[in-house]
Structure 1
Amino acid sequence: MLRDSHGRVATDLRVSLTDRCNLRCTYCMPAEGLAWLQAQSVLTDEEVVRLVRIAVEHLGVREVRFTGGEPLLRPGLRDIVEAVAGLRHRPEIALTTNAVGLEKLAEPLHHAGLDRINVSLDTLDPETFHRLTRRHRHTDVLAGLAAADAVGMAPIKVNSVLTRGINDQEGPELLRWCLARGYELRFIEQMPLDGDRSWNRANMVTADEILERLQAEFSLSPQPEAVRGSAPAQTWLVDGGPARVGVIASVTAPFCHACDRTRLTADGQVRACLFSHKESDLRGPLRSGGTDEEIAALWRTAMWGKQAGGGIGDVAFEQPARSMSAIGG
């Protein structure tokens, strides 16, 4: 298994398929000037599938989530999903996406084996969407969500980041909208992983602020920690349930003690933690003829060295060199 020296076991694999994206969200990427990975450094479809297979069949991974950048931009996405769905000890397969292009891809991806999706949607207002993403694609996101719902993906989760002075008052409206459609909304505190490196703790909308605004309009009943398990979101029943809303307090209340994630970047580097400054190369050994057992051993070593926490609450915290788009969510 992918055990670390603090007793945690990683069973959830996040795989970034590309560092490219068709939006430019202010809390993730700069408007321009970000250097992309060179094509030859990015894992091929076959290499992605092989590493996922090693994780599932040799290392005990039970859930695989494809991320980016924007994973829908990966031409071989459907084939990758189908191959992973065909593995022995089939894992649960999920996708984190901005949903631009999902309207056409939802059905083929679901038929290939995609179980569920998380869609990033920070606002219901098209102009605010443009201000946040620097693109006019709001209608495409809504169409993608509707298409995923129509083909039966469930649960559909919506991830929202509230930005002070832009969309920080939209929490209750977003929740009403998701409740009406049966989507599960999760608010995420803005993290210091932006490409502009302009994150400021003082400007971040905190989990407590989000909950205060929601509780002004809804009755929220906290679910016990036992229900949460290793999930990043603390959840609340809305108006008695069964609908839920979640808040991921990555900055103000880190959940490192229960982390069960391991990350693979698009260029084949293992990251034990989202905020890590260290990576372990699997692409090199993979391309030089390493066996499954040798690669699995390297992966175990990388995870054994995982720190107790990301250090985001420390005064001396330093933002990783890679931004979120280059790490994978």
Structure 2
Amino acid sequence: MGKQRRDIYQEVTDKIIDLLDQGTVPWQNPIKRGNGDGWPKNMHSGKNYRGINVFLLGMRAWESGFASDYWLTFKQSKERGGQVKKGEKSSLVIFWKQLDKEDPETGEDIKIPVLRHYNVFNVEQCEGIEIPDAPKEIVTDPFIPLERAEAIVDGFPNPPKINYEGRRAYYRPSVDEVFIPEPELFEDRECFYNTLLHECSHATGHSKRLNRGLDTDLAPFGSPDYSKEELVAEMSAAFLCATAGISPPTIEQSAAYIDNWRKQLQGDKKLVVQAAGAAQKSADLILGTQFDQASSPKESPKQTKTVEQQPEPATSQTAARTQLELF
């Protein structure tokens, strides 16, 4: 029996759908990266990758936190006197190759485009190779918090620990901690707070809060219950952003994201209503309000940060969407 042929088309499609299902739009990311221009490049030729390869490598860089734009093959790393670090996983790159073939009807020589692929590694996955665009000190404008958004975060009763580190944002229910990049690494403040409130909304599902089973009975990735949790977190973040006065563009993006999940689960007519109810409870818990109380954030007793009264309009296309960590 011959070796089963690899379906590259399906692999590429699956990678895109996988991230969309996790709430990540592959071609949009408000978290700033290193010194490069953000366009994936082959380190050997210096040329930019094109087409679907831009998204494939861009997604991998975002998932893994790579700051460099440069990629190379295993062989190319050896040629440069380095090597791929043990245990590192490669990334898929595809290209079209023109094959010479004889037309069976006319007998003329013709060229047939055939899809081919190879594997590459980000230069940060290698050792012994100088990284051309290694991050230097990132110069950013001072981050000026939004008063109302800060009051919401600071007023979260019995909150999870919030860690400002890395280049991904997620909630890890096993340790009840939120991980998010430093605020300065986001394109704007609205994106930062929208992302932070999304992850804090996940944290309300911990067993010591509203107990949606995140740390005790987390549903498998891709299941309806898993998707519902993402929908709850996004709806809750939309409620909280509205309370914080986050500008309308961000709320509209949330609405589009919510609609994506609704379409994913069309078979459950009760989903949106149930998710909205759970999201309202999540937002109420973070705000410290009861059903008959006004939905306004509690003022933090200690405000040590320099704040501004009114938010500025959002400028980026979307806010980061991230999945729960499954461990």
Does 1 or 2 have the higher relative contact order (CA < 8 Å, sep 6+)?
Answer: 1
- What TM-score, normalized to structure 2? 0.25
Q: How high is the TM-score relative to the length of structure 1?
A: 0.25
Larger Cα Rg: Structure 1 or Structure 2?
2
